[in-house]
Every structure is written in structure tokens, then in C-alpha cells.
Amino acid sequence: MKRLFILTVLAVVPWRAAGAQDRAVIVGTIGDSLGQPLRGVVRVVGTGAMAAADSRGRYRLSVPTGRVIVRVGHIGFAYRVDTVTIAAGDSLERDYRLVSAPVELQPTIVTAAKHSQLLDESATSVAVMNDTDLARRAVLTVDEAVNRAPGVLFLNGQVNIRGSSGFVEGLGSRVLLLVDGVPANQGDRGGIDWDMVPLAEVERVEVVKGAGSSLYGSAAFGGVVNLITHDIPVGWHGRLRATGGAYANPPSEAWRFRDRTGGLGGLDVTGSYGTETLRGSLTLGGRHSDGYREQDRSDQWETAGRAEWLPRPGTRITGSGAWTSHQYEVFPTWCVPGTCSDTRGQAFQPFMIDTSGRGSYTRSNKGYLAATLDRTVSGAFAWRARGSWLRSHFTDYNPDNWSVSDRLGAELTGVLHAAGGDDRVVTVGVEGAHTDITSDIFGDSGRVSSHTQIDVGPYAEAEQRVGRVRLTAGLRLDDIVVDGARKATVLSPRIGAAIRSGVGTWRASAGRGFRAPTLAERYVTTRAFGFEVIPNPDLDPETAWSFELGNGAPIASWGRLEAALFWTEARRLLEPTFVLDGGVQKIQIRNISRARLRGLDASLAVSSLVPGLTSSIAYLLVDARDLTTDAVLSFRPRHVLTLGTDYQWRMLSVGAEFRYTSRIERIELEPVFGRDPRVAAKVLDLRAGWQRGPLSARLLVTNALNYIYNLVPRTLEPVRKSSVVLTWTY
């Protein structure tokens, strides 16, 4: 009952608190169970108010008056949630002692429904990775962080949620990326630039599984990945992070391709300053990698910034942006006899490139600017307006191609909490985007040309609590216009329910997802694998009905089980296909496949059985069939199993994670690549950490066994990489 009360208050209070007119102050200290000070973060749930403790654990937090929920956190410790009531002008002293527990059990607040809600209220599965998870994994990039989430698998940089995307040779993604709610898929190819946002900026990653088009429109075909960036604390804060490491050499002398060990390194600096009304942060960084294969070096420069203005209670204006310049050599495919200058007598050389790709190189610049106005009008109603500009510009050398795309987006959303509570919540909005590309590869027959696409999508979703049941129903209507001609109108409904019971919360949902063909898929004109690729401007959106039945349940006080059965019926999937054009075999993207993906997505997180020890198991079973050919769907491994464990003892932590991905049974373009070797993936990551005051050191060894494998044709997955991350926080 007490837990229910806290959960209810958690959901209601942000709206009431934000509507208050004056402010008060909470001061105190944060420490561990032994009384040692922690540089934790204190924040008011549902508002931007937050403060970071100093090296002696002291903090000072300005809060709205009335009843507020305070959330206290620190890496490696369980969050504490505190409810306080405070009058205008008062100050209150609160000291918090945090207990070591790397796995966060509950409550977790997610934004899958375009407004804050508890994880147990979501009608669809959501996997959350918070800053504790990210720090513990010591990963360096956003895709590395997302890759180990339950139900998620990357195939050569392309994200799959429950087998959604497969591998589509870099064109299109069946997963939508959001950065603080702003769509960030490429305007031309529709893919995801995972280096768009520095990982240092990311506080939390939410992976919404299943079709999400009823709220998010195109590309949310198989799910949504939402990156939530850090709030800016009051006062001066800074962080310096240095990274260094090395790649393992090939395990066989016959595969050796260089005389030295490949290295990697990077440096990023973040500084922020905040007052009660104005806050800003800036991150600058750079990275270099020698790569783990022949012709695989890369250099990257990145910057990200954010500014917030809180002119009055209940109003927040945010400006944010990021820019990344990435120059990287391209490893097109590994070489096989007859295609490379040096086979050393091998049937294939996974570390070396085929001679036709020698000198391939890409310069990729990308970035975004976003402005958001959040206004809490009352305890019952709030609205948000945002505008964004997303740009991607790549230039390929050998073959020489280039493309510039600009995507202008806007969205207006209103959220009504009827009667000020969360028993009835209505979300209404409209989202629009204008994309234009200029390119010599997505043009007309290889000539430079431009194309535009306009997407407009009004949407509405209502949530109603009836006893223990929380019902959800939503609808979105998307209109897609390409080069001035209406191409498609797509209706995406969704219904769902979350039912609290004695055995956790049951979830059931049914929804429609769709993905409009990207401008690149419609107009691509190039050569691939020796074949001409020809455009197909008349492509239709691919669609899917997605069903889920799941349960999320705490297990005593030491664990949490999440399990879901999913079933997706997809139609008109876009796939590259061999066609005869004038008697010549060519490749064209067509709507051809009907597919069925069904399976089980389950995870178990265990904590507190032994002090400091946490473990997790996640398993994904995907039965994916191409119903057109009655064969296994390409690029969908049947089993993905992830085992992880971490142990923390005072300032030290150690951990390990193992992932097994079964052999991919079928690939596309079988006549070209079908005879290439493919094996199951078995990857073990090891990690260790040390933290004392403002300093921390993390050691990460990925693919510690140096297991050599590939997931997509003739593309070697990363070998063992050892890296050290040193962080100083002010």
C-alpha cells in the first residue's frame, strides 16, 4: 500500500510542484552506508531542479514549494526517493545515505508515452540503461551502450530490436532514434549516426520495443531508442575524460596485416555552469582509432552544448545541439582469392580488404540544433513546442559519392492530466518534418539532383486507469509527400493495457508500425558487389502489426523479471532484390516480403543476494520467417543470450558480460555471399573500476577471448579491445 501511495504521488506531484509560485531550499549531505561522502546528484522529479554534492558530500537544492519528490543518486548505488513538504522561503536539511546496489530495481521513470510515467505504467516493454549502467560498462560510444540492452542486437552498426531491422546495407532503419525526444535518423538514408551525440552527454537510454508509430510515426516500425541527455546542475561543474587502448592482433600469423599493434585514444572535456534560472554546458572531444582491420583508421571531433532558461516556475526553454566530424577509412568487404593482392594462400582474409575497395574513405559531418519550450500551465495541463534542424553530409571516396540532407522538424504536444492526477492522461500533438537532399548518388541516374519529402502526423493517445488496469489507446495519421506528390497516408493505431497483479504487472498491446521508404531507397543509383543498383521511386511504406503480452515482476527484494511474448506480422518489407533490366541483372529495392517475427524476450536482474554482487540474464528467441518464400528471414539470429555479473567492494568493482548470438541462418544476396563462412558469435567482455573522490578509472576488455566472427557478409566484427578510461570530475 505504501509503495502504491509513493508511486501515485510520484506520478502526480511533478505537475503540482511545477505549478507552484515560490521556492524553498533543501540542504544536506550524501554519503554511503559507512558515512563516507559521495558526490551524488539530488534532483526534483519532473522538474529541471537538481544539484550535485561537493567532495564532502554537501549539496544545496532549490525546489518548488509544496510537496516534492526528491531523487538522490550516485554511480554504483541504489537511488533513494524522498518525499518532502516545504513552505515558501523555508530551508530543510536532509541527509541521505545510499546503499551500494548497481542494479536499479524500481521505480524507474520513462518517457515512452511522450510524458513521464512509471515503467510499470507503460503498455509496451521498455529497457532502460541509466548512467550507473553506462559508467559500469565503461563503454565509449552510444551504440556500445545500446548494444547490450535486452532484446537489442547490432548488425554492423544497424540496430535491431527483437529482430526488427535485419541488415539493409546501410539504407534505412526500422528503429527510430530520438535525442531528448527529437527524431535524429538521417534525412537521406534514414539510418542512424550513433556518433551524433557524445556518450558523455547521455544520462539514460530508453529502448521502447515493438511498433511505436502511433506516437512516433515512420521509422518506429520495430521500436524507438530515446537518448536522454544530462540535466545541468547548479554551480560550476566539469569533467575531463581520457581514453587509451589497444586492439589485439589477429590470432593467426596468416591473417597478420600490420607490423604494430593498433591503438585508440580520446579526450573529452565537459564544463557546465548553472544558476536557478540559467544553465549551460559544453562538451568538446576528439578520438582516434587505428582500427582492427586493414584500412580501418578513423578520426572524430565532436562538440555538444545545451542551454536552459527557467524564466519562471513551470516554464523551461532549452536549446541544444551537437556537431560531429568523422573521417574514416572504409573496409568494404574482406578479400577472397581473386579479389585481393595478398591471400597468403587463404580461402578468405577477414582482416584484409579486396583490392577494389583500396583507398575507400568517407568524411561524414553531422549535427543537430533543437529548441524546446516546456510550459506547465497548471497541475493538470502542460504543453511543449519544439523545433529542430538535423543535417548530415557525407562524402565518399572510391566510389566517389556525396549527399547533403537537411531535416527541419517541429512538434507541438499537449498533455492533460485530468483532475491533476494520472488516472486519466490525454496526450495530443502534431509533428511535421521537411527533408531535402542534394546528392549524386540519391539523384537521377547518377546526376546531381535534389528531392524533398514532407511528413505531417497528428496524433493522440489517452490513458485511463480502471481499478488495477491502466488502458491505453492511441492513433496517428501520417501523410507523406515526396517531390510535391502525395505518396502515402498511413493510419497507425495502438491499444494496450497494464494490469497490476499479485505477480507483477501484466502488459498487453497491439499496434501498427510503418516505415516510409527513405529518399535514398527511392532514388539510389550506384554499383554494389559488381552490380548496378537502380532507383525505384514508387516504393510504398512497409507496415507491420505488432502484438505483445508481457509481465514485469519484482522477485522478493532481490530481483526483477521481465518477460514478453511478441508477434509481428510485416508486409511489403523493403529489400534489395536482383531484377532483370534490359536483359542485365541489376539490384533494386522493392516491396516484396511478407514476414512474421515472433518470440520471447526475457530478462532477469538479480541484486542483494550477496552484498555488492549483481547479476543479470537476458534471452531473446526470434522465430523469423519470410512468408513470401517460406524461408527463414535474412539476418535474424534465432537465439541471443546475455549473461552479466558485477561485484563491487568499496572503491573497486569488477564485472563480466557474455553474449551468445546463434549463427545467422540466412543472408540476402545468397548467390554472392552464400558460401562465405558464418559462425555463431560468442563474446566475453571484462571490466574493472576504481573510484575515489573525483577520480575514477575503468578498464574494459571487450571480446576478451579474441573470438573471430562476422554477422554480415565479409565484414569482421571487432576483435579484442582493451581500453582504460580515466575520469576527473569537478
Site residues for other proteins per CB under 8 A: 252, 254-255, 336-338, 343, 345-348, 350, 609-610, 613, 615, 641, 643, 645, 656, 658, 660, 671-672, 674-675, 677, 679-682, 684, 705, 707-710, 716
- CB of 252: closest distance to other proteins in angstroms? 4
Cβ distance 575 to 595 under 8 Å? Answer: no
Query: Which of 448/609 has CB closer to other proteins?
Result: 609
Nearest distance from C-beta of residue 566 to other proteins, angstroms: 25
Least spacing, CB of residue 708 vs other proteins, in Å:
4
**CA 724, CA 696: separation in Å to the nearest integer?**
10
The C-alpha torsion from 2 through 7 and 9 to 11, rounded to 10°, is: -170
- Give the DSSP H or E segment for 372: strand 361-376
Alpha carbons within 13 angstroms on the beta-carbon side of residue 275 total: 6
**Cβ burial 504-536 (10 Å sphere, 16+ → b, else e):** bbbbbbbbbbbbbbbbbbbbbbbebbebebbbb
Query: Is 313 within 8 Å of 294 (Cβ atoms)?
Result: no
Least Å from the CB of residue 354 to other proteins: 12
Select 350 or 541, whichever has its Cβ closest to other proteins: 350
Cell of 707: 573470438
The cell numbers describing 425, all together, are: 492522461
**What's the closest the beta carbon of residue 660 comes to other proteins, in angstroms?**
5
Name the residue nearer to other proteins (CB basis): 1 or 556: 556
Q: Which is closer to other proteins, CB of 91 or CB of 341?
A: 341
Q: Alpha-carbon distance 475 to 550, whole Å? A: 22
Q: Which of 464, 598, 590, 587 lies closest to 531 in space, CA to CA? A: 587
SS3 of residue 11 by DSSP: helix
H or E segment and range at residue 319? strand 315-329
Greatest CA span in the chain, whole angstroms?
83
Least distance from other proteins to the Cβ atom of residue 335, Å: 11
Contact (CB, 8 A) for 452 and 191: no
- Nearest distance from residue 492's CB to other proteins, in Å? 40
Residue closer to other proteins by CB (options 199, 684) is: 684
| Smallest gap from residue 716 Cβ to other proteins (A) | 8
Tell me the closest approach of the beta carbon of residue 612 to other proteins, in angstroms: 11
35 or 674, CB closer to other proteins? 674
**Which residue number, 351 or 635, has a Cβ lying nearer to other proteins?**
351
Q: 234 with 274: CB under 8 angstroms?
A: yes
Q: Measured from the CB atom, is 45 or 681 closer to other proteins? A: 681
d(CA 680, CA 682): 7
Query: Toward other proteins, which CB reaches closer, 226 or 615?
Result: 615
- State the Cα–Cα distance between residues 584 and 572, nearest whole angstrom: 25
